[in-house]
Amino acid sequence: MASIYLRLSSKADKTNLQSEILIRFKHGKVDQRAKSNIFVNEGYWDSEKQSIRIPTLKGVISEEQKQNVYVLQEQQDRLNKLTSFIQTSFLTLDRKVVDADWLKNLVHDFNFPPQQEEKEQEPQVTSLLQAVTSLIESAKSGNRTVRRKETPVVKETIIQYRQVQTILQRYLKLHKKSDIDLSDVNEKFYKSFVQFLYNEGYKLNTVGKHIKNLKAAINALPMAQRVSCEFVEPKKCVKLTEDVDNIYLTEEELESIATVTINTPYLEKVRDQFLLLAWTGCRYSDLPKLNKSNIHTLKNGGQCFKLEQKKTTAKVVIPIFPATQAILEKYDYEVPKPMSNQPFNRFLKEVAKMAGLNDEVTITHTENNDGSVERVTQSFSKWECVTAHTARRSFATNMYKRSYPTLMIMKITGHKTEKAFLSYIKVSEEENAEKMLAEWK
């Protein structure tokens, strides 16, 4: 696989004290170097990450500081585009034309495009609805959306962006506005929009999701267009989230689902697909990847799935446990294509009810009641709370209860941080005490 290495030149310009970023491209016998024509002060270069270090602005911020961050971000964006341009060009060209000056010429073409047709300047985004619409169009075209991140936008995320667009249009209609300037997307708007979402009947975590996606739309804009928008400042417009008492299924409960007699073919498929997720820790969007083509044999003779997660593009290696192996063999390693998520969850509840998951569970969440935000506790039968995502939560919790190290489980689930992973662990206080006593013995 082709590799690109970046380093900063040891020679700095005596006038502005900036150094040029140097590029090295390696693939097989191809090993070439070139100057990037991108410059940065040595103090802002991160040699370990091979990227420009963008400072975080805190406290009272001067216009000069804002402009400096804007310039650094623009240089990093240009560097990202250049490396992507090199990788793409190498993948698509005839390798016979890679001469000694191939990389130098390629970088020159990037910085000074030959016979470039003049394009109409894109209109500047100055309002919130424009920013959301621009985010959706960018995502649909396959572009990266959130700046400084390299993960592609999946279909489910685009659906979320469309949802927040529709909600924002309803908010604007209620306030008799066609749009709102970015400079007015401030703490006052934040409080008003949050209250609107509560009035619409959304729970706190859903409110937080829509706030997050509005911030994503603003953060996707160039720094010069979003520099005056305080909505993206975390201290003024905080991210809303709460730890909801989501359930998990014990290994005994999973066994009850596995052994219950089901005479309806589509319910049987839903049951088996859910169990596959519960013994692999995968998201529902990755269910189609649990097939023969992604199975590999480990050095110790065991088998595993090797796949790239759809949502995060994280590459994971998942051991195939006996319960997983049994389902794969049942379908001759060709698991049926999953249905859409909503009917799957509806049918799954039927399966869980048939398996006798009738224990009472309490769910506590934040709701808006006549303008007053309060915590509400409701009781349900356990089968009513089972969804596709319960499988992933069950995998993480059951592996944790088996005393597997946290980092070992994270390698399988693909969680990047322990904080995010631990939100999946749903061990009760009583189960935790039992686990500690067992470990003590």
Q: How far apart are CA 241 and CA 203, in angstroms?
A: 10
Identify the residue with better confidence: 128 or 73.
Answer: 128
Contact between 103 and 97 under an 8 Å Cβ cutoff? The reply is no
Identify the residue with better confidence: 140 or 295.
Answer: 295
Q: What share of the chain has pLDDT > 90, as a percent?
A: 38
Question: CB within 8 A of 338, min separation 6: which ones?
Answer: 273, 284, 287, 288, 344
**pTM score:** 0.62
Tens digit of each residue's pLDDT (9 = 90 or more) over 231-249: 777 666 777 776 666 789 9
pLDDT at 272 over 70: yes
Work out the pLDDT band at 412, boundaries 50, 70, 90: very high
Residues 386, 392, 394, 397, Cα dihedral to 10°: -140
What spatial distance separates the first Cα and last Cα of the chain, rounded to whole Å? 50
Q: How far apart are CA 317 and CA 322, in angstroms?
A: 16
Q: How far apart are CA 279 and CA 325, in angstroms?
A: 10
Contact between 387 and 345 under an 8 Å Cβ cutoff? The reply is yes
pLDDT at 433 over 80: no
Contact between 173 and 183 under an 8 Å Cβ cutoff? The reply is no
Q: What share of the chain has pLDDT > 70, as a percent?
A: 85
What's the token pair of residue 116?
């470039």
Gyration radius (Cα) of the chain, Å: 26
Residue 88 DSSP symbol: H
Residue 259 confidence (pLDDT): 96
Which residue type occupies 431?
A: E
Burial class (CB in 10 A: 0-12, 13-18, 19+), 271: buried
Q: How is the chain split into domains, by residue range? A: 3-111, 128-232, 251-440
Which of these ranges, 19-33, 62-76, 264-278, 313-327, has the smallest mean pLDDT?
A: 62-76
Residue 148 confidence (pLDDT): 42
Residue 289 confidence (pLDDT): 93
Residue 96 confidence (pLDDT): 54
Mean predicted confidence (pLDDT) in 351-359: 96
Residue 428 confidence (pLDDT): 65
Mean predicted confidence (pLDDT) in 288-298: 92
Q: How far apart are CA 89 and CA 42, in angstroms?
A: 29
Q: Same CATH topology for 128-232 and 251-440? A: no
Residue 371 confidence (pLDDT): 60
Work out the pLDDT band at 62, boundaries 50, 70, 90: low
Q: How far is CA 75 from CA 40, 41, 71, 177, 225, in A?
A: 8, 11, 6, 37, 16
Mean predicted confidence (pLDDT) in 250-255: 96
- Per DSSP, the residues of 200-217 read TT--HHHHHHHHHHHHHH
CATH annotation of 128-232: 1.10.150
Q: What is the mean pLDDT of the chain?
A: 84
Q: So what CATH class is 251-440?
A: mainly alpha
- Given CA atoms 271, 276, 281, 282 in this order, what sign does their dihedral have? negative
pLDDT at 384 over 90: yes
Residue 115 confidence (pLDDT): 55
Mean predicted confidence (pLDDT) in 86-97: 71
Chain-centre distance for alpha carbon 36: 31
Residue 148 zone, left/alpha/beta (φ > 0; ψ -120 to 50; rest): left
Task: Please name the residue that has the structure tokens 């506790």.
Answer: 377
Identify the residue with better confidence: 374 or 267.
Answer: 267
Q: How far is CA 323 from CA 155, 250, 275, 319, in A?
A: 30, 14, 8, 11
Which of 214-238 are b and which e, b meaning 16 or more Cβ less than 10 Å from the residue's Cβ?
bbbbbbbbebebbbebbbbeeeebe
Identify the residue with better confidence: 280 or 107.
Answer: 280
Residue 127 DSSP symbol: B
